[in-house]
Structure 1
Amino acid sequence: MTAQPAVREEPPHGAVGHAVRLSRLAAGMSLRELARRIKVSAATVHAIETGKTDLAVSRLRDIATVLHTTPERLLTTDASIDVEPAAPRRRPTVAPPVGIEDWRMFGPLRIDPVLAAAITVFVRTGYHGATMRSIARRAGMSVPGVYHHYRGKQMLLVTTLDLSMDDLTWRVLAAGAEGRDGISRVRLMVEALALFHTHRWELAFIGASEMRSLEPADRRRIADLRNHVQHLLDEAIDQAIAEGSLGTPSPRHAGRAIATMCTSLPQWFHLGGPTSPEQIAAEYARFALGLLAHPLAAPA
């Protein structure tokens, strides 16, 4: 007796259409935009989502490509669930968190459970190894529940890097404002960079390793924010040179070497190790002065 091959039962058109709608909403895409991208009318997409028309395999593939999913996922999505479009991401202002005014203080981040879970998963598996399901599991939520707050993995990564740059920028600005002259501004700003990259090593690790995973527009925007921090340090170095405190012949190269020295800290530093963030910050400030040819760089 010859075994018969298993026949996969296809879901009804309504279920597939509902899955298309779920994926479209999760991607933050309008019905008209989906129609434009797959080169059909908005009425056709509406008919697909409401199960009023057949969905050819070729068109299913086109829809899956546009929505950054797969035909298999659209065919197996549970039609009993629903989601609303995620709220647009708000760009926070660069300011200290409520209750924290000292740039040397690092309290717990006040973030939602989904973002906290995403940060942990991104550190453990990398952005491309993370899935919305693994993030939902870590957050103790359903996948549709996660999509209700964030449109997808890319939005979580962008929000993480925005959070990182906001927290870093206000600390560097506050540290520089404490300096009475150029050289003290340089020292304090390097301390702020080192403290951030040790206390907030998870955010810093993601920032250092996942810039390549951003979509082009956000990659350029985050790169501009990073360049702004570099320029703040460069300005303090220029001030110190003008005041006659520094003797480096290559201030720009030294400034980038100092910043890179700090951004590499998450590759090896972990809280609870033999050296505290404060000790690292003091040492790195001395290292920075050494690169800038300042006599105070010599060990005490």
Structure 2
Amino acid sequence: MGNPVDEPVDDEIGIDWRRLEDVELTPILAASLDAFYELGYHGTTVREVARRVGVTVPALYYHHDSKEGLLIALLELSTADVLTRANAADRDGGDDPLRRLANVIEAIVLRMTNRARLASLEGEVRYLSDENRQRYRAVRKGVEEVVLRVVQAGAASGDFTVEDPAETTRALLGMCQSIPRWYHAEGTLSPEEVAAKYVAIAMKTVGVQPK
């Protein structure tokens, strides 16, 4: 049986980029995410994470060599997830820059809202060592490149009115990355409603007039 038309599944990687299931984390990473979210990276100790998991500190170090190791593991999982979904959403847009941009922004916002706790960890990047920061930025750059190539395609086709595609891309990503700072699942807006609003803002940003 084929997939319903309204459920876009990317054949190459086999995911529905609009559907976000619960993230499967190891008990250690799940406890780390909770602690970082509640206490901040600076306020979290390895002992606190071990206490939440119910293991000894040496047992935790067997799996992750440091608190920073816990953070980079979560960040890499988080950014790889949004990159996969953004690529799938872009491909689902075919050759239409408007649909591609709408899809990519929707995919990013759905991830930022449905996985706000995980996405919020990007605010802790400042605590990474130079080496780990570069590892994180390499994947983060991939997300930027997805949006940039869509904006460039729309500018080249005349669908978008954009003077500086690179700066426009940074503006679009900046507004999406701010979502975890204010979004709460118990609020009045659903992830889908937030995504629709941000798609509309993105379209105005690239000069597409509402019909």
**Structure with larger Rg:** 1
Shift of 1:193: 1.0
Q: Deviations over 1:77-108 (max 9, x none)?
A: xxxxxxxxxxxxxxxxxxx9xx9720111111
Q: Is the 8 A contact 1:165 1:225 kept in 2?
A: yes
Q: 2-side partners of 1:290 and 1:248: how far apart?
A: 11
Q: 1-side partners of 2:133 and 2:175: how far apart?
A: 22
Q: 1-side partners of 2:170 and 2:37: how far apart?
A: 25
- Please name the residue that 1:123 is paired with: 37
Task: Could you tell me which runs of 5 or more consecutive residues in structure 1 were left unpaired when the two chains were aligned.
Answer: 1-95
Q: Match for 1:166: what amino acid?
A: A
Q: Is the 8 A contact 1:119 1:203 kept in 2?
A: yes
Q: Which runs of 4+ in 1 moved over 4 A?
A: none
Tell me which moved more, 122-131 or 142-151.
142-151
Tell me which moved more, 243-252 or 196-205.
243-252
Alignment of 1:186-265 (within 5 A): 186-207=101-122, 209-265=123-179
Q: Match for 1:227: what amino acid?
A: K
Shift of 1:244: 1.3
Q: Deviations over 1:4-40 (max 9, x none)?
A: xxxxxxxxxxxxxxxxxxxxxxxxxxxxxxxxxxxxx
- Bigger relative contact order (CA 8 A; separation at least 6): 2
Q: 1-side partners of 2:43 and 2:120: how far apart?
A: 15
Alignment of 1:50-129 (within 5 A): 101-129=15-43
- Please name the residue that 1:34 is paired with: none
Q: How many percent of aligned residue pairs carry the same amino acid?
A: 34
Q: Is the 8 A contact 2:76 2:139 kept in 1?
A: no
Q: 1-side partners of 2:92 and 2:186: how far apart?
A: 29
Task: Could you tell me which runs of 5 or more consecutive residues in structure 2 were left unpaired when the two chains were aligned.
Answer: 1-9
Q: Is the 8 A contact 1:191 1:285 kept in 2?
A: yes
Q: 2-side partners of 1:220 and 1:158: how far apart?
A: 11
Q: Is the 8 A contact 1:183 1:237 kept in 2?
A: no
SS at match of 2:15: coil
Aligned length: 199
For normalisation by structure 1, the TM-score amounts to 0.64
- Please name the residue that 2:98 is paired with: 183
- Please name the residue that 2:204 is paired with: 290
- Please name the residue that 1:145 is paired with: 59
Q: Match for 2:103: what amino acid?
A: L
Q: 2-side partners of 1:100 and 1:122: how far apart?
A: 31
SS at match of 2:43: coil
Q: Is the 8 A contact 2:113 2:179 kept in 1?
A: yes
Q: 2-side partners of 1:100 and 1:272: how far apart?
A: 30
Q: 1-side partners of 2:134 and 2:149: how far apart?
A: 22
| Root-mean-square deviation over aligned CA pairs | 1.6
Q: 1-side partners of 2:20 and 2:186: how far apart?
A: 15
Q: Match for 2:97: what amino acid?
A: G
Shift of 1:250: 2.8
Q: 2-side partners of 1:212 and 1:137: how far apart?
A: 25
Q: 1-side partners of 2:124 and 2:43: how far apart?
A: 12
- Please name the residue that 1:70 is paired with: none
Q: Is the 8 A contact 1:185 1:236 kept in 2?
A: yes
Shift of 1:251: 2.5
Query: Comparing both structures, which one devotes a greater share of its residues to helix?
Result: 2
